[in-house]
Structure 1
């Protein structure tokens, strides 16, 4: 089944993607490594920013940035001005293979140290604190107020850190194999249970409390949340589908439908202005592409 919407070429092996409030998007690519800044409405590349290593995840510190770029290949965290592509700071010493990063409400950036466990706390381009291995393999991280909630890929749970005190404040088992995390409205975050075929919505206060478990068979992986329309988007990498979920009532989410995607849909983002959804296809054998799904093609609520 062909992907919904249109697919435009972009870089090589595109993966991490975010869209700023301004409508400028950013896509992580590799070989050559860099970040493509795009017009989210059309997918047209505005600028290519080369980097010293490749990023898997991208995140925004605020609605219009800066863009946080954890470079797994060079073990650095870059902050990038999304409007003009300037790299405003480069932080070294952020562990071995920094996988993801998120900025908490107080301005502290929490970086997951995938190959050594634990997390690092960054401010103004400097590591100000670090914690030793807690999660076996820390993966995706979501900022929920002053807290950073980290998915443990191998440890089957969520670890919560306080960005102001630089301490672990909670931990609990969730699912079978969590990979990605995304902040939702209020004090909630969603976690993709890739091996368990589900998405968990957890309240972070800072203790964990399950709000809902959403069925998502087919290796759920990429997550994006539309706070304006209260929708959660989940990529299903085993079936090349995107599941659309209404979370107006977070305790009783409704699956609205599935749409066909590009091959290996590892990441997804939402343009908050229009509600359009962009998906990156990272299958090395099936080519690379950026899929743009306009609101009229999404299932009605």
Structure 2
């Protein structure tokens, strides 16, 4: 079986078909698909580096530099904190639990699959603007032309919205989990098939996809228009160039890497290790990642964000130990 899986993996890199049980997806090496998850972290044995903000347990963290707002999402509650004045956080109650959280120039965008909504939040006023999107939206990303790309859990597809109107739909995924827009182009990370796929936003066509390790979980884009992907199961950091989609780097990262954030000013990819409660920074400007920092974290560091201006890094505990603030 190991030889067959290895053969299929090699074939998938070349985008030729291979199957263990009748599946027609050339990027899928087994019919028993299980998405990778963060490791269950042990109790901490070292004090977390930096300082701690008293935020609730959260699965998602984002930072908006325009409003100096740290956002953590736990359950159906968003906690908005100004790290420079953390004594008076604000909270926003959502109709259900978000599966994705992003910020852009004073606005937060959350996906709420159990409510069939994506919601925009004005971080200055706290006003929310929901948009109904049938199909269980799990992620949303604005496109350069003003439209919005949305992943749909129920139909296992990606939809392009112009306001509230769907202009194109791309079906045929297993777990359309995360959208990425390097250079304005749209790519999808599918966690079940652990693959990246480009999508044509004009007609919805799928481009040639590529396997992303053994269990990809999270990804970001960098200023070189690459996609940096965490392979949690394979314990690697992967870098893909786009147009065409090609894997350029793969670097071992032991410790069950999970969350990733990118600092474009310092070319640092910050990665949390959930098996060891650690935070590692890699300089990714060269031909191979170079480790620059390794620090102890709060327990279960499942989410992370970075302030690109100050370089401060925010690591939030999923078990309620707060948000760690690190200045590298």
TM-score by length of 2: 0.80
Alignment partner, residue 114 of structure 2: 73
SS of equivalent residue, structure 1 residue 229? coil
| CA offsets 1:76-101 (integer angstroms, 9 cap, x no match) | 1111112221113x2223423x3222
**Distance in 2 of aligned mates of 1:269 and 1:248:** 19
**Distance in 2 of aligned mates of 1:95 and 1:45:** 37
CA contact (8 A) 2:168 2:203 kept: no
Structure 1: any 5+ residue segments left out of the alignment?
none
> Would the alpha carbon gap of residues 288 and 112 (structure 1) be closer, same or farther in structure 2, given more than 3 Å must change?
farther
Alignment partner, residue 51 of structure 1: 94
**Distance in 2 of aligned mates of 1:227 and 1:170:** 28
> Would the alpha carbon gap of residues 44 and 203 (structure 1) be closer, same or farther in structure 2, given more than 3 Å must change?
farther
More off after superposition, 171-180 vs 103-112? 103-112
Larger radius of gyration: 2
> Would the alpha carbon gap of residues 291 and 56 (structure 1) be closer, same or farther in structure 2, given more than 3 Å must change?
farther
Structure 2: any 5+ residue segments left out of the alignment?
1-45
Q: CA deviation at 1:45?
A: 4.7
> Would the alpha carbon gap of residues 44 and 179 (structure 1) be closer, same or farther in structure 2, given more than 3 Å must change?
farther
Provide the alpha-carbon RMSD of the alignment.
Answer: 1.9
Q: Runs (4+) of structure 1 moved beyond 6 Å?
A: none
Residue 91 in 1 paired to residue 134 in 2?
no
SS of equivalent residue, structure 2 residue 115? coil
Alignment partner, residue 231 of structure 2: 193
Alignment partner, residue 18 of structure 1: 62
More helix by share: 2
Alignment partner, residue 153 of structure 1: 191
CA contact (8 A) 1:139 1:153 kept: yes
Aligned length: 282
Alignment partner, residue 260 of structure 1: 296
Equivalent position to 1:225, from 243, 247, 262: 262
TM-score by length of 1: 0.86
Equivalent position to 1:208, from 245, 257, 263: 245
CA contact (8 A) 2:102 2:109 kept: yes
| CA offsets 1:9-60 (integer angstroms, 9 cap, x no match) | 223x312111112222222121xx1222211345455421111011132112
More strand by share: 1
> Would the alpha carbon gap of residues 160 and 281 (structure 1) be closer, same or farther in structure 2, given more than 3 Å must change?
same
